[in-house]
Structure 1
Amino acid sequence: MTRTVIAQGTFDILHPGHVHYLEEAAAMGDELYVIVARKANVDHKSAPICPATQRRDVVNALETVDEALLGHEEDIFVPIEEIDPDVIALGHDQHHDDEAIVAELDRRGIDCEVRRASPRESTGEGELLSTRLIIDRILEQRG
């Protein structure tokens, strides 16, 4: 029996923290689907710079990802219902309320586990593990 995992995020500027998250998510099962957030659904931080299709295509190019798809613009649970995963893997620092997700999954009759990936430790060589830090560095050095 195939164990299906969903990971999700904005993935605006792909960095080592994203790769770590997706590798951990992939290790939680046999197939990894990644839902890439649409701009309309990103309300907890600055809007993405790159278009959703570009972000999806870059994530889809990663070897660990079986399929990347765009999120639903009105209801973020629609792709989850369609895929019917065994696990939803959240990033260690994602803003989601785990208990609220579990409650909504239960309400919709989706039986799956919600797990958090671990943080990726920095190598200490000036490595940037967040899109915000990458943008700040670009503005500092080139702005």
Structure 2
Amino acid sequence: MSEIKSFSDYTSKYNSNVDFSALFSGTSDSSSVGNTNMLSDYAAIKNGSYGKLMKAYYAKQDAEKLSGKGDTSQKLTLMKTSADSLKKSADALNDSSLLEKKKIKKKDEKTGEEIEVEDYDWDKITKAVKSFVEDYNDVVK
């Protein structure tokens, strides 16, 4: 067996067509760009910016799905849920007991005594109207 004293002896004896420049690219400018990219990718992973970028990307994808560019079955399910809640709030608004006068205890502002007054339950009416408006806006969206 012959002795190998240099790298050129090795390449001439075995496989001289193999390009080993990538192994020794620390000094050449053209191939060090690839190593620099790998190091910058590693640095991005290590400091967390890569993770933030991926979270932002997938959040954008989820937003696009919900905004109308997504799956139609998801949109139909969302529309059905919104329509069902609108129907419930409309039924609550049409309830005849909501618009009947009731005996309510209130404090008299002048004397501070509790008196019984026959009036509409304004809190309940306001809550029913707000619920209807919110559900209607959800359906329109």
Report which of the two has the higher share of strand.
1
Larger Rg: 2
Question: TM-score by structure 1 length?
Answer: 0.21
Report which of the two has the higher share of helix.
2
Question: TM-score by structure 2 length?
Answer: 0.21
Q: Which has the higher contact order (CA 8 A, sep 6+)?
A: 1
